[in-house]
Amino acid sequence: MVDIQLSDAEKTYIIHGAQDNLRIDGRGCEDYRHLEIETSVVSNTSGSAKIRLANTDILVGVKVELGEPLPENPDKGRLEFFVDCSANATPEFEGRGGEELATEISSMLARAYDCPSCLDLKQLCVVEGKQCWVVYIDVLLLECGGNLFDAASIAVKAALFNTCIPTLTVTQDEGHIELELSDDPYDVQRLDVIHAPCIVTLSKLGHSHVVDASQKEEACCLARLILGVTSKGTVTAMKKEGSGSLDVSSVQDMLETGKRVGQALNKSLMEVLLSDDKVGKSKGVTGFLR
């Protein structure tokens, strides 16, 4: 994470405020900051989305290409995550400074989506054991303002919702397979992402925990729990970060909060995406979680 320097007095003020359910920007412990989402922002992709969460700015582009399925999943397509931390986001990312963070985010996204109930990868199968759609998801971190994992996951879900996959006609003649791509640009299939997870990061501040921590709050946090949560409240991935420890009761409380907040986050996000899709708009601007 990007470091920010605070005095001991500032840290004490932030921690005591969180314990009273009043954060320095006026939010409660379970409130997200204002969030802006825009889809269809990159023309040469199969789907794209851009998210701005306070000062965190992330762009996601999705491209689908034909490839071979994995031997262990011959009847499924696959997802490939790539994360790049732009040097413009912070001087710490110059050179190879952002590689470790990029790997952490891409790994967490892959783990969160590695659940059969999240996304039906069978709809990406073209010819079992031979051809499938491979979905390449590129995440570009443009600016840092805290809570990078959550913001990246929201942008990924929005971009996958926006993704259009060309319709293919498969013909077989004496063992020879031919694939014909539809000439109609509107003859496409969409991914069902209603159960795709969002990541919820819970940061421990003193005896309390908060969601959507700002950079200053992250500087006061010694331990955080990162959860992949679906619209049904299913936890698909979990990771603990930070040098501090978490006791069993804290982990249980944070899990319950994460599931509750994750369900609300997924519901609100899908409502915004579906609403904009129905009216034919490509842009949704909202502070959609409390």
Answer yes or no: pTM beyond 0.85: yes
User: What's at 126, amino acid-wise?
Assistant: V
Both tokens assigned to 1: 């994470």
Find the mean pLDDT for residues 217-245: 93
Q: Is the distance from CB of 63 to CB of 136 less than 8 angstroms?
A: yes
- What backbone phi and psi angles, to 5 degrees, belong to 198? -110, 150
Q: What is the pLDDT of residues 17-67, one digit of tens each?
A: 999 999 999 999 999 999 999 999 998 999 999 999 988 999 999 999 999
- Angle, alpha carbons 124-239-211 (nearest 5°): 100
- In this structure, the dihedral spanned by the alpha carbons of residues 66, 140, 49 and 56, taken in order and rounded to 10 degrees, is 160
DSSP 265: H
User: What's at 281, amino acid-wise?
Assistant: K
pLDDT at 277: 75
Residue 288: partners with Cβ closer than 8 Å, 6 or more residues away: 35, 268, 269, 271, 272
Find the mean pLDDT for residues 217-229: 93
pLDDT at 275: 86
Domains defined for the chain, CATH in brackets: 14-285 (3.30.230.70)
Question: 72-100 burial by CB neighbour count: b if 16+ within 10 A, else e?
Answer: eeeebbbbebebbbbeebbeebeeeebee
Cα 223 to Cα 203: distance, rounded to the nearest angstrom: 6
Q: Is the dihedral of CA 63, 64, 65, 68 positive or negative?
A: positive
Is the pLDDT at 146 greater than 60? The verdict is: yes
Is the pLDDT at 189 greater than 70? The verdict is: yes
